[in-house]
């Protein structure tokens, strides 16, 4: 069974690609509906790299203002990262793939979890991103879980549209570029 999204986002494809590799940006997509917390004592990596296996705990409900976690536990998920680049008629399409698997909770009843997100420059507008996303699930529980996941992906789509504008700002690069410009002016 499949769930698909196709959106035009208000950021360039490079910013969207960086966000796909950011555990913080990915967690923000689900907030405040779901909380993704690292299971590793070292915490979340700062960047999701190809080959990485990142275990997370999912909870329905937001983290409190004091940082306390509450809500309904949904289970643990292993995020396994890979990526590739293909070409279409407009150029390069970068694909980020999470082929991990739900470990516990209701989603663990699935036999297949294959989540791919593709980014490329927006049609006719390189300042925007064409975002394509496909989640493939399988197993006996897939028909029962599909409606819940479909609704979650609609939430995700709305969050993507909302958050993408913030991805274009990269403080480290902006600060570095400003420092370089100041240095060049001297």
What does the domain layout of the chain look like in residue ranges? 2-31+79-170
Contact 118, 93 (CB under 8 A): yes
Q: Which helix (H) or strand (E) holds 27?
A: helix 23-30
Print pLDDT tens along the chain (186 aa).
999 999 999 999 999 999 999 998 988 888 788 888 999 998 999 999 999 999 999 998 755 555 555 688 889 999 999 999 999 887 899 999 999 999 999 999 999 999 999 999 999 888 999 999 999 999 999 999 999 999 989 999 999 999 999 997 655 544 444 444 334 334
Tokens 């399409």 -> residue: 93
Give 108's contacts (C-beta < 8 A, 6+ positions apart): 75, 101, 102
Picking from 87, 110, 83, the residue whose alpha carbon sits closest to that of residue 97 is 83
Please state the pTM of the whole predicted model: 0.83
CATH number for 2-31+79-170 (one of 3.30.530.20, 3.40.50.1820, 3.40.50.2300, 3.10.20.600): it is: 3.30.530.20
């Amino acid at each position: 069974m499949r769930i698909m999204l196709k959106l035009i986002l208000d950021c360039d494809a490079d910013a969207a690609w960086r966000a796909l590799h950011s555990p913080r940006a990915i967690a923000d997509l689900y907030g405040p509906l779901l909380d993704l917390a690292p299971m590793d004592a070292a915490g979340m990596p700062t960047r999701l790299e190809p080959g990485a296996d990142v275990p997370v705990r999912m909870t329905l409900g937001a983290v409190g203002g004091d940082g306390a976690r509450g809500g309904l536990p949904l289970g643990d998920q292993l995020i396994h990262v890979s990526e590739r680049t293909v070409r279409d008629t407009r150029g390069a399409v970068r694909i980020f793939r999470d082929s991990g698997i739900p470990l516990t909770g209701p989603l663990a009843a699935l036999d297949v979890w294959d989540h791919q997100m593709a980014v490329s420059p927006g049609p006719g507008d390189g300042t925007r991103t064409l975002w394509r996303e496909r989640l493939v699930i399988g197993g006996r529980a897939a028909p029962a879980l599909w409606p819940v996941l479909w609704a979650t992906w609609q939430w995700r789509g709305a969050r993507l549209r909302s958050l993408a504008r913030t991805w274009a700002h990269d403080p480290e690069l902006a600060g570095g570029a400003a420092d370089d410009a100041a240095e060049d002016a001297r």
